A = this chain, B = another copy of it.
Amino acid sequence: MTTPSDKSLETPLRDYLTETQTLIDAELDRLLPAESVAPTQVHAAIRWSVFAGGKRFRPVLMRAVGLCFDASTDSLLHTACALEMIHTYSLIHDDLPSMDDDDLRRGRATCHIRFGEAIAILAGDALQTLAFKTISEDERLSAEQRVRLVAEIANAAGTPRGMVAGQAQDLEAESCEVASDELEEIHRLKTGALISAAARCGAIIADASDAELSVVSDYAGQLGLLFQITDDLLDVTASVETLGKTPGKDIRAAKATYPNLHGLDGARELAQQVHTRARATLDQLNRPTDSLHAIADYILHRSA
C-alpha cells in the first residue's frame, strides 16, 4: 500500500461526502423522535449515538450506487437513514459491558456509559425497530420495493448470514486461534453484509436489473473486505502514533486481524489486490461509475 494520503479527497468526492453527510444528518433529525418526547432518556440516548460524528459510509455508498443507476436522492434518503439506524444500533449493543465493553467511541462516552446499560439496550432495540418502520412507511417507494428493502436489510442484519451472526462468531473467536478464512467469514458477516446491503438497496431503489445487482454485490463484497483490511491497518498505525506500541507487538498479540495473519506488508498488499478487484468489477457496468471508483480509492487511502 502507498503511504496513506487524502489525495483522492482533493477530487469532487469530498464535496459528495460532505453533501451526503449533511443530507443524511438532516433527515435523521426529522425521522428520530425528539428528546423532549417520552421516553426522553431513550430518545436522548438514540440521538447521542446517531449524532456521534459517524462518517455515514453506508449511506454514502448506497447513494452513489443509486445515483449511478439514475435513482433520485429523494427516493434513496429514508432507506439510507434506516441503514445508519441499523449500523448505530449494532454499535450501541457491541459496546455494552457483556460484549466488547468499550467506554469510548469516537472520543466520547459510549451510550451505556452516558445513559446506563438499560437505556442503551432499549435505545439499540428502538433504533432497529425505527429502521424497519422508516422503510415500511416511505411512500416515495412502491410496496414491492419496500418489501425487498426490508428483506435485504433484515437478512444482512440478523442470523444466520448477517451482522448479528458475525458479532456472535467474533465473540467466540476471541478466546481461540482463527484461521484466515474464518477471519474473512467473520468480517463478511459482521461488517460486510450490511455494506453489501447498502449498495444493493441503492440498486433496488433504482430498479437495476438482476445482472446489474449481481455486479453491485460483487463490488460491495470487495469494498467490505477492503474496508476491514484498512481498518485493521489503521489500528496498527494508530497504535504507533497514540499508544507508542510497536507494530511488532500488535502482530504478536492474539487478536485476529489482517496484519496479525499476513504481516503488515502482506496486509497492505492484500488491500491493493482487493482494491484492484473492486475497480475491475465496476468495468462490467455500462454506467457512470466514477464515484464508485472514487469510493474504492478513498477506502484504500483513508487515514481515519
Whole-angstrom distance between the Cβ of A248 and the nearest chain B Cβ: 31
Interface of A is mostly: helix
Interchain CB contact under 8 A, B122 and A167: yes
Count of residues in A whose CB is under 8 Å from the partner chain: 52
From B98, B121, B137, B168, give the contact of A39 (CB < 8 A).
B168
Complex interface residues of chain A between 90 and 124 (CB less than 8 A to chain B): 93, 96, 98-99, 116-119, 121-122, 124
Give residues 146-160 of A contacting B (CB, 8 Å).
Answer: 146-148, 150-151, 154-155, 157-160
Judging by beta carbons under 8 Å apart, are A132 and B150 in contact?
A: yes
CB distance A98 to B121 under 8 Å? yes
What chain B residues lie within 8 Å of A119 (beta carbons)?
168, 171
Q: A37-B160, A143-B143, A165-B38 are in contact. Are A98 and B125 (CB under 8 A)?
A: no
* Residue A192, interface by CB 8 Å: no
9 examples of A-B residue contacts, CB within 8 angstroms = A39-B172, A41-B168, A41-B172, A46-B159, A96-B118, A125-B128, A135-B150, A136-B151, A143-B146
Chain A residues near B (Cβ < 8 Å): 33, 37-39, 41-43, 46, 89, 93, 96, 98-99, 116-119, 121-122, 124-126, 128-130, 132-133, 135-137, 142-144, 146-148, 150-151, 154-155, 157-160, 162, 164-165, 167-169, 171-172
